Amino acid sequence: MSKLKVVSEKSLANNSRIVGLLAQLEKINTESAESDTARYVTSKILHLAQSQEKTRREMTAKGSTGMEVLLTTLENTKDLQTTLNILNILVELVSAGGGRRASFLVGKGGSQILLQLLVNASKESPPHEELMVQIHSILAKIGPKDKKFGVKARINGALNITLNLVKQNLQNHRLVLPCLQLLRVYSANSVNSVSLGKNGVVELMFKIIGPFSKKNSSLMKVALDTLAALLKSKTNARRAVDRGYVQVLLTIYIDWHRHDNRHRNMLIRKGILQSLKSVTNIKLGRKAFIDANGMKVLYNTSQLPVVPVTGPVAQLYNLPPEVDDVVDESDDNDDIDLEAETENENEDDPDENFKNDDIETDINKLKPQQEPGRTIEELKMYEHLFPELVDDFQGYDLISREPKPFVFEGKVRGPIVVPTAGEEASGSSGSSRRGAAVQENVSPRGEEGDRKPASMDVAKEDTKDSGRTLQPPLGDESRTVSSTHGLNNDIVKALDRITLQNMPSPAAPGVKKDYNLPLTVLTCTKVCPHVATCGNVLFEGRTVQFGKLCCAGVETEDDEDTESNSSVEQASVELPDGPTLHDSDLYIEIVKNTKSVPEYSEVAYPDYFGHIPPPFKEPILERPYGVQRTKIAQDIERLIHQSDIIDRVVYDLDNPNYTVPEEGDILKFNSKFESGNLRKVIQIRKNEYDLILNSDINSNHYHQWFYFEVSGMRPGVAYRFNIINCEKSNSQFNYGMQPLMYSVQEALNARPWWIRMGTDICYYKNHFSRSSVAAGGQKGKSYYTITFTVNFPHKDDVCYFAYHYPYTYSTLQMHLQKLEAAHNPQQIYFRKDVLCETLSGNSCPLVTITAMPESNYYEHICQFRNRPYIFLSARVHPGETNASWVMKGTLEYLMSNNPTAQSLRESYIFKIVPMLNPDGVINGNHRCSLSGEDLNRQWQSPNPDLHPTIYHAKGLLQYLAAVKRLPLVYCDYHGHSRKKNVFMYGCSIKETVWHTNENASSCDVVEDMGYRTLPKILSHIAPAFCMSSCSFVVEKSKESTARVVVWREIGVQRSYTMESTLCGCDQGKYKGLQIGTRELEEMGAKFCVGLLRLKRLTSPLEYNLPSSLLDFENDLIESSCKVTSPTTYVLDEDEPRFLEEVDYSAESNDELDIELTENVGDYEPSAHEEALSDSELSRTHLP
């Protein structure tokens, strides 16, 4: 205790000492005392500042007047030693305190006072060296913290003072060094840079830098950094080119590279490269660089055949690859791509607060203010979409309460048929290939040059007629096959361009199938291994007829039963009965009514066959070190060895008359099908192709979504694909994500699934520049490349690649029709309405799901009508296909016979718009609708003509608000391309205010914390969900998104965006795995379970919970909402620059489970709740 007292007294003594000295100095200023006294006091303060961090901290603390006293003394004193003492004190303060203390000094007017002192000191002849060194040192440190420093320096005339000092003291390195540092700060202002250039600063820098030398390396480094900053000015860059300095820089670089064997001067070499980079930002500089053989010089010097085991280079090469800063796309903010360099602040400084200019700071704007927007008379147009509010169910059969099994009623769907025919001596087959007659002869060895199947033609609707017109085949194709050599190719070709007139019709079984296939048809009498393992989940609930493909069709391993059969037969694989939402024939019929801008006439095989999740897990790909370096080096080789580049266009969507080369070793490409996106393909090397994506329609950017077909491949060959016009500055492709591939051969082998494929994957900035128009008016923006390498398993296969699991508009319509046909109308209330028509004339479906009333008695009808609404939407951004898979999981769960699902239906009425942007999905857009606008930025003022789906979806919500039936929850399903896991964005006033550096707890805003309940629930029941990635901050850039508008204008407190990763998970059950459709659909189902648990918390009396738990939700959330660190929002990176360990959370404290000892209600656990233990079921986990 005595020790503590002594320490306290000592601390008090020190504090009182510095305070006393500052007070004494202030008194000297007011009384104009003798300079000796001021000299003595400032020397004592200097001693304390040099020896004690506490003194430095106290002098720069908020409320301290120490800095003002020092600056006032500095401004008024005429004594040189006093001036030097104060300058040394300031050096100590800004050197040890990092950026915050420098900013503190700037805030007190230090920049202007020091610049004036510099001007006054320069008037002496000669100027005092020590004084100049100290002034320049401090100005170099605080200049970057003053946004107007460049202007102040120019107005005060400080530029030429510093420049002349360097010119006159080139041999005085002690003085030149801080002068160069300050010149570098001056040069950050472009006007200053040009002014300095006119006065010969560029030529001066080349007098300082030179060939390799062990002396004055620090001066060399600073001079190069200054030169690089100066050359960012185009005027200075042209000056450097005109004087031949590009060749000089290359010569100096080679010399340093040759002599710096131990890599001790890497920063100097980097400075030379930065200067070259600045020069080559102009066209004249690039030409001079090429003429000086710069590409070859840098390429040769960048090759490191052996990485040193130890030393700085080894340390550098052992770091994970560094990537550019990225913009977080919370609510998918693709409109802004900020790439600003940020100053490194002192991370240990407790006074440094997190700032973001995008956060809304106006409390009045933050407070939800319900705005009707439209009159009740206008909103009556939506009455017909809410029949559940007025229906008395008198005409319904509500007697039976027995749950019916979830089976498909009515017509059993037709099978997928691969038509086959007996072998004929002069074998001929009729087929239609893209509407063109094809005459080909096939050698007896089966090495035909015929085109591969790419996708199935769909006869499109004649716009002048109400019916469909089917065009007959335009030509016959003759082939002769004398052996089964090349069998695989023949089978795939049997599927080539299946047209609607050739599709088997279940209603007309007598129609002759006009197919002839040069393939021996076999009788299948054995069980195929691949069917035995995978067939139980392939196209469930129907018979799949594959034309003997199970044994002889696709790379069969056993050819014992190879007897030919001349009759037309089709092998069938009987699969277990069970519900399925895929119907290939129905899909074709729906596609015929789907309207697209290019008028697609083909169907991609994956969409026709369907997709089932593979029976294996797909781990996040471990990226081998050096892959990006290797890929960039190969790109550079294109420019150095141009004669090795083929540079041949092999696919061009812009040129309809373009003919595909018929050479056998060239891959064939196609994207002319629903949701397809590939614009152009250029063959670079024999097995390397550059791919260019389409921008969104009526837009000149948004290049990310891709979906295309490849064929004509050879197994055992590594094909490299480069998608070269991507726009985002970072991607999960750098963190283990792989593209998706679908193989038709595999689908015929009873493995119809998309799989993650590709090696040597990376995402990096390339040398292609974006036009200022495409870059939103910004100049100098570059495109980015996704590169991946694929080894195809089958010869002449047809494969499809996609950014993520495709989910087309036609697939949605098919799924909705199957759900409607399968549901039990006595148990489930299901309606499928048309919300509106899109710009293309496609219908936007609106789904209503709830439980039928128990009877048509008044009490039951009232209970039915009074159920709270849940409003869900998805797929406003077409490229976020994962949102549709999550929605599929939600829809299937809501329509299932699970007891929990029935309880959920009895608790809520679900209004669902499963696809807000049908046109964008159909036409392969990534983000926009046909108007070329991001629909999720139109919710504030949607135009009924340009944004009909948003206008009417908002109208539905406004109608519910007008009739006092505000939804309990609104959730918009999205996908996130640069973060892992599944998470939510919500809206909170308090958490937003906290991020504005105000004390949220002290503000007079009273807020219900219930917005955190649903995310908390999901974090405990959904394995893929991550609470720490959630954010409840409202940003200015998001004020027109669905989440914020529904919260602010409609008044829905629980208004969310639910983001699902495109990559995978880094926590929980799926840690280290890439996400698949099974996990996405599970997330959709878990969301439903979470809503039921939300009901239990928000309506506890309904479940007979103790009254003490009435305020459970608020108490629970308040207890864990001690916000101590920033949540993620617009400017956060999804991945750190090096290690991936970063805290995105608004809650750095450990979250404690709160256990309820009371019974929380009569609740039957389901299989979907992962078989929780009794102890887990007896409590509610909502920390």
Active site residues: 1059
Q: How far is C-alpha 617 from the geometric centre of its chain's CA atoms?
A: 23
Q: β-strand 869-874 against 969-976: which pairing, if any?
A: parallel
**C-alpha distances in Å from residue 599, one per residue of 458, 462, 594, 673:** 10, 11, 9, 9
The CA–CA distances, whole Å, from 545 to 40, 504, 549, 750 equal: 100, 12, 9, 11
Distance of CA 435 to the CA centre of its chain: 39
39 contacts 81 by C-beta, under 8 angstroms: yes
The DSSP symbol for 1047 reads I
Residue with tokens 């807020």: 1007
- Sheet arrangement for strand 668-670: 668-670, 707-711, 798-802, 740-743, 755-756
Assess contact for 731 and 978: CB atoms under 8 A.
yes
Q: With contact defined as beta carbons under 8 Å apart, do 920 and 927 qualify?
A: yes
Residue from 711, 727, 730, 707 nearest 719 by CA: 711
Residues 6+ apart with CB under 8 A from 412: 542
Closest by Cα among 835, 808, 807, 1025 to 912: 835
Cα gap 256→210, rounded to integer Å: 9
Residues in the chain: 1183
**895, 893, 829: which is closest to 865 by C-alpha?**
829
The closest alpha carbon to 186, from 232, 221, 226, 239, belongs to 226
Among left, alpha and beta (phi > 0; psi -120 to 50; other), residue 833 is: beta
- CB-based contact 334:1130 (threshold 8 Å): no
Count Cβ atoms within 10 A of the Cβ of residue 374 and give its class: 0-12 exposed, 13-18 middle, 19 or more buried. Answer: middle
Query: Cα–Cα–Cα angle for 1004, 1056, 1111, nearest 5°?
Result: 50
Beta strands in 693-817 (DSSP E): 707-711, 718-726, 740-743, 755-756, 759-769, 782-791, 798-802
Residue labelled with tokens 């829905």: 1052
Q: How far lies 1091's CA from each of 762, 829, 1016, in Å?
A: 39, 18, 11
458: DSSP letter: -
Beta-carbon contacts of residue 974 (< 8 Å; ≥ 6 apart): 331, 332, 874, 876, 877, 880, 883, 1057, 1058, 1059, 1060
Place of tokens 């880094």: 1066
| β-bridge pairing 688-692 and 680-685 | antiparallel
Task: Give the pair of three-digit tokens for residue 826.
Answer: 């006595």
How many other C-beta atoms are found inside a 10 Å radius of the C-beta of residue 357?
Answer: 9
- The whole-angstrom separation of Cα 750 and Cα 887 is 26
Pairwise CA distance, residues 743 & 753, whole Å? 8
Residue 257: how many other CB atoms lie within 10 Å? 19
Give the full edge-to-edge strand order of the sheet including 648-652.
648-652, 680-685, 688-692, 718-726, 782-791, 759-769
Largest CA distance in the chain: 120
Residues 6+ apart with CB under 8 A from 275: 224, 227, 228, 231, 249
Residue with tokens 């520049």, as numbered in its chain: 769
